[in-house]
Structure 1
Amino acid sequence: MAGGLFALLDDVAALARMAAASVDDVGAAAGRATAKAAGVVVDDTAVTPQYVHGVTADRELPMIKRITIGSLRNKLLIILPVALLLSQFVPGLLTPILMLGGTYLCYEGAEKVWHALRGGEHHDTPVSENGPDAEKAMVSGAIRTDLILSAEIMVIALNEVADEPFLSRLAILVVVAVAITIAVYGVVAIIVKLDDIGLSLTQRRSSFARTVGRWLVVGTPRLLSVISVVGVAAMLWVGGHIFLNGLHELGWDPLYDVVHHLEHAVHEAVHGPLGSTLAWLTNTAASAVFGLAVGGVVMVVLHVVPRRPKGAHAH
C-alpha cells in the first residue's frame, strides 16, 4: 500500500516536472515570437495615442481601457481562432486576408496625409463634449485599426511557432496576445497621462520635481504631436510592408525585388551597425511610399471618382 502511494507520488512529481518544462518552453517560445513581432508592436504603440487626442483628461484612461478590452477581444476571440484554423486547414488564405488588412491601413494613413495637406479642420473641442457618440466612434476606429495591427502581430508570432503542436501553438499565442496588449496599452496610458503627472510634480516642494514637472507639461503636447505623425507613418509603413510581402508570397515579385535591392544596396554601401540601420530605414521608407500609393488609389476609388447621381438618366 505504502509502495503504491510512493509510486503514485513519483508519477505526480514526474508529471509536475513535465508540466513545468512545458511552461518554460511555452514562455521561451512566446518570448521569441513577441520579439519577432516587435516592429509592429512599436507601430501599434505609436498609432493609438492619436485616438485620444483632444479628449478631456478624465476620459483618457476610460477610453484606453475600452480600446484595451477591444484589442484583447480582437486577438483572443477573432484573430486567434481564425489564424489557427486557417493555418491548420487552409493556410493559403492567410496572405490575402492580411493584404486586405494592409490595404485598410494604407487607406487610413493616406486619408490622414490628404487631410493634413489640405489643411483640414482642427477640432479643439474635446471629443467628450461632442457627446458619447463621438467618443464611441473614436474608440471603434481605434479598435478597427488595432484589429489589422494585431492580426499582423499574431500571424508573425504564428509563423515563428508553426512547427509546434496545436495546443502548444494555442498556449503560446494566448501568452503573446495578453503580454503584447498589456505592454502596448500600458505604455499608451503612461504617454497620454504624462502632462497630468507633470502638473502634479509642479506642485511638489522639491525644485527638481517642479523642473521635471514643467518640462513634462510643456513637452507632452509636442511629444503627442510627434507620436501622431509617427502613427500615420506607421500605418503607411506597416500597410505597405504587408502588401509588398503579400505580393511576394503570392509569387509576384517585381515591386518586392525593387525594395529588397534598394535595402541591399544601402547595406553594402555602408558597413556595420549604421549600414544595417540605414538599410532598415530604406526598406521602411520604400514600404511607406508604396503604402501611400496604395492608399491613394483606394481614396480615389472611394471619394474622388465622380458618382452618378441617383435618378440621373442618360439623354
Structure 2
Amino acid sequence: MATGLLALLDDVSALVKVSAASLDDVPAQVAKTTGKVSGIVIDDTAVTPKYVVGLDPSRELSIIYQIAKKSLLNKVIILSPAALLLGFFAPWAITPILMLGGAFLCFEGYEKVHSMFSKHDHDGAHHAGEKVKVITPEELEKERVKGAVRTDMILSAEIVAITYASVAEKPLFEQIAVMLAVAVFITIAVYGFVGLIVKADDFGLHMAKENNHTQVRKIGRNIVTFMPHFLKILGYVGTAAMLWVGAEIIAHGIPFTSHALDALEHSLSGLPALAWIIKALACGIGGLILGAIIEKLVVLARRFV
C-alpha cells in the first residue's frame, strides 16, 4: 500500500513538474504568436474606430466595451474550441479555412480601395423620389456594433487559427493556456488602444480649456486638430494591412508562393527592413488583385441569385 501511494505521489509530482514547465513556456509562446499576428492586430485596431466615429461621444466607450466583450467571448467560447476540435479531428481543414479568411480580407480591402477612388460617384444629394431610411441613434448604434463584431469575427478567427498553428505540436494544456492568453491579451490591447484613439479629441478639448496653461491649451488644440487626420491615416493603414495580411495568409497556404516569399526573405536576409517592406508591398499588390477578382466573381454570382 505504501509503495503504491509513493508511486502515485511520484506520478503526481511528475505531472506538476510538466505542468509548471508548460506554464513557464506560455509567455514565450504568447509573445511569439503575438508577433505572428501583428498585421491582423494592426488591421483590427485601424478598422474599429470607424464604427464609433459620428456617434454620441458619451456612448463611445460603452460601444467599444460591447464590441470588445463580444470579441473576447467569440475567441474564448466559439473560435478557440473550434480550432482545437478541428486540430484534433480535421487538422487538414485549418489551412483552407485560414485561406478563406484571407480571401475575405482581400475582398474587403479591395472594396475599401475602390470606394476611396469612386467616392465622388456617390456623393451629393439623393435622387428625386428615392426613399431615405431613417433610423434612431439606438438602432444606428446596434448596426455599428453588429458590423464591428462581424468584421472582428473574421480577424479573430485568423488570430485564433494562427495561434493554434503555432502551438499545434505542444501538449493540450499548453495549447489551451496559450490560446486563452493570446485571446485576452490581444483583445485588451486592441480595444484599449481603440478607446484611447476615440477619446483623444475629448482629452484635447479638456486640455484646451481657458483655465489651463498656455502651452497646455496649445497642445490640446493640436490634438483636436490632428485627430481627424490621424483617423484618416489609420483608415489607410487598416486597408493596407487588410490586403497585406489577407494575401500573405493565402500565399503561405500555397507551396509555390510560400517558397517564393521564403526565398525573397532569404535573399535579403542582410537587409531585414527592406525584405519586410518588399514582402509587404508584394503581398499588398497581390491582395488588391485577388480582391478585385473576388469582387467580380461576387457580382457575377449575384446575377444568378
TM class by smaller structure: 0.7 to 0.9
* 1:100 alignment partner in structure 2: 100
3-state SS in 1 of match to 2:303? coil
3-state SS in 2 of match to 1:53? coil
* 1:193 alignment partner in structure 2: 199
Contact 1:259 1:283 in 2 (8 A): yes
3-state SS in 2 of match to 1:142? helix
Match of 2:147 among 127, 130, 141: 141
Match of 1:181 among 165, 180, 187: 187
Match of 1:237 among 235, 238, 244: 244
* 1:60 alignment partner in structure 2: 60
Query: Within 1, Cα distance between the matches of 2:144 and 2:285?
Result: 26
Deviations 1:263-302 (A, max 9, x none): 555x26xx4xxx2112111111111111111211121122
Query: Within 2, Cα distance between the matches of 1:36 and 1:259?
Result: 15
- For structure 1, the residue ranges without an aligned partner over 5 or more in a row are 1-6, 311-315
Q: CA deviation at 1:177?
A: 0.5
Distance change >3 Å, CA 161–CA 263, structure 1 → 2: closer
Match of 1:247 among 254, 277, 297: 254
Contact 1:104 1:239 in 2 (8 A): yes
Q: CA deviation at 1:92?
A: 0.4
Query: Within 2, Cα distance between the matches of 1:143 and 1:115?
Result: 21
| Structure of higher RCO (CA pairs closer than 8 Å, 6+ residues apart) | 2
Residues 255-274 of structure 1: pairs in structure 2 closer than 5 A: 255-265=257-267, 267=268, 271=270
Deviations 1:67-115 (A, max 9, x none): 1012112211221011111112211000111111111111111111111
Structure 2 length normalisation: TM-score? Answer: 0.82
Counterpart residue type for residue 284 of structure 1: A
* 2:174 alignment partner in structure 1: 168
Q: CA deviation at 1:159?
A: 2.5
Contact 1:60 1:192 in 2 (8 A): yes
Contact 2:42 2:238 in 1 (8 A): no
3-state SS in 2 of match to 1:193? helix
Match of 1:209 among 207, 216, 224: 216
3-state SS in 1 of match to 2:140? helix
Distance change >3 Å, CA 146–CA 306, structure 1 → 2: closer
Counterpart residue type for residue 93 of structure 1: A
Distance change >3 Å, CA 122–CA 179, structure 1 → 2: farther
* 1:49 alignment partner in structure 2: 49
Between the two proteins, the alignment pairs up a number of residues equal to 284
Contact 1:240 1:288 in 2 (8 A): yes
Query: Within 2, Cα distance between the matches of 1:202 and 1:24?
Result: 47
- For structure 2, the residue ranges without an aligned partner over 5 or more in a row are 1-5, 125-133
Query: Within 1, Cα distance between the matches of 2:136 and 2:265?
Result: 46
Q: CA deviation at 1:187?
A: 0.5
Distance change >3 Å, CA 122–CA 140, structure 1 → 2: farther
